[in-house]
Homo-oligomer: A and B are copies of this chain.
Amino acid sequence: MSDLENGTGGQHNREQTQQNLIEATGRVILRNGFSALGINSIASEAGVSKVLIYRYFGDLNGLLKAYVMSRDYLLSQGLDKLGNSEMPVAQLLKSVISEQIRHLRSNPELQEILRWELVVKNEVTDYVDQIREQQSVAMLEKLKKQYPSAEFDVEVIASLLSSGIYYLVLRSGTTSLFNNINIASDEGWSRIEKTIDSLIDLLLTLVMNGNKK
């Protein structure tokens, strides 16, 4: 009665059905975004009765909660690296940024979640919010402790960079040109990365000099 001792496989398997619904949710989101998301579309995508959504998840929000929690999209992007690594700071920061770009660009479902967060506020988006806020703030704290700067507002600079990346990636879903930059191609993004790298170098040397004085 407890967990996995059900051997039928096909039907009459609650866990499997739940998983099926969660993954169907992902597919519908991937196909149409959150706007066209609904009980009916998910149930039909899963090939299952929508009653089961209500029975197992309470309502659509419950299912979305389970869906979001089943994905670890925005977890541990180089958080552990920082502070434990042997790399020089500049290189470390660059790799964190580069990884963030790669991660976001290669995860369309995450992109849809971010779009959703821009439009809707509810308990599910609040949950996602909270996780990312925790993680990025923790990372920034480490950075600030190791490389304090009196002249530059590290939090704001990091936020502007992250936000810029966010927006450009999300925007690349509906257009390919932003200020003549091809945000839909790898070339465009390596151009962006390169520029961010030089910015990091520049700022970092300033911080170093400022600290030495």
Contact = CB atoms under 8 A, between A and B. Distances in A.
Contacts of A129: 175
Give the contact-size bracket for chain A.
35 or more
28 contacts: A33-B119, A35-B35, A115-B118, A117-B175, A118-B118, A118-B170, A118-B171, A118-B173, A119-B119, A136-B179, A137-B180, A140-B180, A151-B198, A153-B194, A156-B191, A156-B192, A157-B199, A159-B178, A159-B181, A159-B192, A160-B192, A160-B195, A163-B163, A163-B168, A163-B171, A164-B167, A167-B170, A202-B206
A25 interface: no
A164 B159 contact: yes
A187 interface: no
Contacts of A166: 163, 167
A198 B207 CA distance: 13
Contacts of A164: 159-164, 167
Number of copies: 2
B156 A181 contact: yes
A136 B180 CA distance: 9
A164 B198 CA distance: 18
B133 A174 contact: no
Nearest to A125: B174
Contacts of A74: none
A31 to B, nearest CB: 14
Given A151-B198, A163-B164, A202-B206, A179 B157 contact: no
A131 interface: no
Given A118-B115, A164-B160, A137 B179 contact: yes
Contacts of A157: 195, 199
